[in-house]
Structure 1
Amino acid sequence: MQKAFVLGAGLGERLRPLTAQLPKPLIPVFHKPLITYAFDHLLEAGVKGFVVNTHHLPEQYGVAFPDGSYHGAPVAFREESPLRLETAGGIANVRDLLDEQPFIVYNGDILTNLPLQPLLQAHQEQGNLVTLVLRSSGPSLHVSWDEKTRLVTDIRNMLGTGREGEYLFTGIYACQPEIHQWLTPGKAESVIPIFLKMIQEGARLGAVVIDEGHWWDLGSRVAYLAAHQALHGMKSGAAPAIHPGAQVSEQASLKGLNVIGDRAVVEAGARLEDCILWPGATVAAEADLRRCIIRSGIRAEGQHTDMDL
């Protein structure tokens, strides 16, 4: 597939106040925007270009991608204003940018390295209108799937099948351009009712279960911190925890995993334990922080635990 639609218009309410400064897909993960992990993942699968919808703090995407590209691949942005169109409405709103070709939809607030080739193969071979990527374990098992037919049969028992769901929906799926026949341009609507209607009317809503690799939803500060810990512990490694452009005093005390961004400053006598400092953040002398996240331009002073500053 040549293009992917990466969802970037979410409000990130569970991550406030972090998302008061950046849209959730742009929050830094080991010194690079979260959404770029999605871009890297998709480029590896052969995608050649990206479409991203925006709504909350849309100007920040221009700051992050000033030339409208990422590693040579074009990135087209479309702002949803004044109304955020949600998932289905977002897809309908970028129809002209998807060239009437099959495309991948990818939630911009997830972090994963699951293999995408099984999705592409299943979508092509099974003749599905839409093919979801599922996992058999995770925090939200809401999708019911028939292993024999390879079709989704219900979501949260909304169709009354008596099944609440046994699989996690990863937020990644492949679509045929005919999906647009099921969508209403300009209507703010989730994709879930569309999927349910497809099931009811016999359209092929297929799925593939991919349990390989890792998958995180970075919708909360707990998940955001935990993903850094997990990435750092993986043998494949991540970027260095302390950016080369950071200034960390030799008289500062660092315990656990502290991810310190470019131009961040940790002054003498500061004590950090399992904290994340965004680019340009400052920790004042003698400050004592545990499991804190410090945004860009913020100077953290005093003693704090489990706080976003």
Structure 2
Amino acid sequence: MGVWHSAGMDLPHSRAVPVRIGVVGVGRMGEPISRTLTGSHLVQVFDADPVRTTTAPDLAWADSLQELAAASDVLVTVLPGPVELRQVMVEVLPLLPPGALWLDLTSGDPAVTRDLAAHAAQHDVLVVSAPMGGSVDEAAQSTLVFFVSGEEVALARALPILEALAKDGGIRRAGARAEDGQIVKLLANGLWFAHAVAAAEALLIGQALGISPTELHHLLRDSAGGSRFLDEHAGRLLDGDYLTTFGVDRVVEELDTISTMARTAQVATPVLDASSSLHHAALDHFGPELGELLAVKLLEHRTGRQLRTD
């Protein structure tokens, strides 16, 4: 496991990317990704929501998913989650040309990825799983991070595409099995969700005992309790931003998948379970609203305090 660098000796040799790239999923992340790839490749796109064609009319739209699949040497999926991914790929895999590459950027379920990869092999389709990390702005700036997994021959074909979308050092090798990238990405997300609520609890304690959240934030981020959440995201929370580019229902979906992984691995996870319970409560309280930090908002409601510092 590690970070890929273009000049790295351990990289598979990359070759020219096939001309025809199809992108399935033109939402908040898929649209900027499609635009970036269109700058250097022949790209067609498709989304199940017809409204997308009006919000991005300048992209080259395929008339149907079937048409897109049949015309793609590389199919890139940027979908909301594993349910949508399975629905699309069960239909699409038999339609892809033999020898095509399926490059999945969806943050999904390793069990679903494993099953679909086996199905792809039956149709002579190569698979690379590269669940992405980053915001809509980072997608537009081509500074995403990818946890990449798959066989060497498939990775060699996927690498030039991912390099166009990733920040320097942002392509991170997770393993040879298609599902390995999904496992790493889910565990990374699970830790981030837990760090966020633990940091919010600490900030609320300090606030109640007379230390301003802003001052405490600055002190904690350089302490033994520092985290990426404190470094990069807590400041937005203190500005009243609950990170509304990702739904709390999707957070819960990912945490439920991690719980399933833990049961399969026969590993007790009391800390991650506590985080999951709080996020489930936030979903029950707020409904499937956008906001990765709605569990923090629930903590604020329960304590009668608000961390926003304006």
Is the TM value for this pair above 0.5?
no
Structure with greater helix percent: 2
Q: TM-score, normalized by length of structure 2?
A: 0.31
TM-score w.r.t. length of structure 1: 0.31
